[in-house]
Structure 1
Amino acid sequence: MIVMLISDESSKERQYIVRYAKDLAAKWTDEYWEMLQCSSISELEETVSQKTRTDIVCVDITMEGALELTKELRRLTPSSYIILIASPRISPAVYMRPAIGAESLLLKPLTESQVQEVLSEAIRTYIDRFLSPDEKKVFVIEHKGGRVLIDYNNIYFFESREKRVYLNTEAEEYGFYDTLDELQEKLEDGFIRCHRSFLINKSKIVNVFLSQNRIILKNEFEIPLSRSYKPVIKEYLEKGGK
């Protein structure tokens, strides 16, 4: 599944972008595409507050506050492809920043030919990445809903239950078939086993309570620490871990 976010106060511009993006999606992929539309800055704020994962983002930054929200979208999904809708009256120095990392630009007033040219390049580029992802940067999930790419930095923990593995981000959970033993071998040193049912992201650890057999992650996730894995966690802490 590919999630595309389009934020633009102009209904005409927004609907044209959505329609053309859908045409390209149907032409170039078999994946299901979810189109999230925001017609106001308040709707964009609500979407960002829900910490929604996005693959492609198209935001009109002429709306007051949209630039800061775009920065937050980049933080939430570092691998997303960002298209900015700007005005010639805004200096590129304002929006061409590493914190945003925009890869394409649409300048108002939008024309059909401009939208078609920019969207064609943007969507083709993202699809190429989607089909051949850099697995050092993203974790790839194949499930009945299609393929999902998750930035490693967004993963809090993996949990094994009911014969499946569940990947948990700050706001979402994705189930797929695998085992924690196999995952532990595949993943790099950024993850550590603390329980037969849990594999956690080291960068998300806030506190470890050895005597209480529990680990606290960012955003108040509480993960059990089993006796059998306590020596592993203790060694990690002694080597300078949190």
Structure 2
Amino acid sequence: MKVLIAEDDSSTRKFLKHFIERLPNFDIVGEACNGEDLISSIVTSRPDIVLVDIGMPLLNGMDAIKSCVNLFPMLQVIFITGSDDYALEAFNVKAVDYILKPVEGVRLYTALERAAQNHDQALNKKTAPKKDLMIKLNQSIIFIPQEEILFIERLERKSVIHTKVRQYETNDSLGHLGSLLDSRFLACHRSYIINMEKLEMVEASGQSYKAHFKNYEKTAKISKNKLVELQQYKS
């Protein structure tokens, strides 16, 4: 795995470099000391994994990564920082891990191994046939392609299936519908199941979180205790 280190603190950068050089399956392909160098280094060296400090000069590491992830969707990001203020943003850019300084070797090794595994899975991923979700609607049976479902919401005594073009109401319980869905769906709240592949952003909202979906106004709720599970799913 090709690794890029982006860290403006020389002692931390030295530690990371020394640690990674001892691992047989990881090669350092570059170093960056600020956010602008980070972007140019990603473009030129095309790393598989990048270790990113957030508090860097010129352009912070979070903003630099945000400008790169759409261009390089397979890039595996591990944030290494002295503050937990950006943890939610790290989730939104699908970071593999968010490690607080001082860095522990075991935690770093685990994150690197998971990033390598994610990268390999993305390379080898094959699209399997997906079954449609079958629901009863009045006197009819409707087949909804699972890839079209954004989320399912329990509302009073009905379940509402949200797609971009239509909402379907059914008497089926969330538990029953969840048993028919494939692994891309996650029960993120007692009243919601979301399609993780359609999730665009997570936003803090009081004691819980809101799930946003691209080009769709309505949002789903995410329980606070499900955020870690979501992050693990995404990574």
Structure 1 or 2: more helix by fraction: 1
In the superposition, the TM-score normalised over structure 1's length comes to 0.44
In the superposition, the TM-score normalised over structure 2's length comes to 0.46
Structure 1 or 2: more strand by fraction: 2
